[in-house]
Amino acid sequence: MSTEIKTTIVKALAQPALVLNLGYKILATNTSAQRLFGLDLHGVDFARVVNHSSAMACLNKAVKSGTLKSCELVLHLQTPRTYKASAALIENTDSPFILFTLLDISAEIDAEKSRSTFVANVSHELRSPLTSMMGIVETLQGPARDDAIARDNFLSLMHGETQRMSRLVGDLLSLSKLEAKEHVPPKGKVD
């Protein structure tokens, strides 16, 4: 396959893509890769452009196995971004080559971190009223069993804590509905 055909194929890809020879020299790139790295990459060693051990390991495994290999890596270019890198050895031509692509997964990583933080915060917010109610129940079953005034005070506290938990659960359900609608395409015509 000629370099011209390889260039045409790689330019058709939306994500940053590089075509490498088996010596890891860059033969072709697409506009996304040129924008990402900001250089004329033709003939440059891959390691000078993507100086990352995971990327090199991914390339080596793809060449050795002849199968598609992927890895995650963080590139510190304009700003640190996390990418899923994929490398594939293309051998069914007169001149085998490697196709290396990058998919920016930073938004997914950030969203997962936000979800984890959110779950930890919600867990804490639910644990507080539950702990209070458990303490109240233990007190009502023990020392305050026969104290009508204490029982009324504790029942009032329990009522407040259950309302707090109910509001938290309601907020969670509302948030879940909003997130579900976020991924639904509009049904009507959009200008």
Domains of the chain: 3-104 (3.30.450.20), 108-181 (1.10.287.130)
Cα–Cα distances (Å) from 103 to 14, 84, 86, 150, 188, in that order, read 10, 5, 8, 62, 31
pTM above 0.85, yes or no: no
Instruction: Return per-residue pLDDT of the chain as tens, 191 residues.
Output: 566 777 777 788 889 999 999 999 999 999 999 988 887 888 899 999 988 899 999 999 999 998 899 999 998 887 889 999 999 998 877 788 999 999 999 989 888 888 888 888 888 888 888 888 888 888 888 888 888 898 888 889 889 888 888 888 888 888 777 776 765 566 667 66
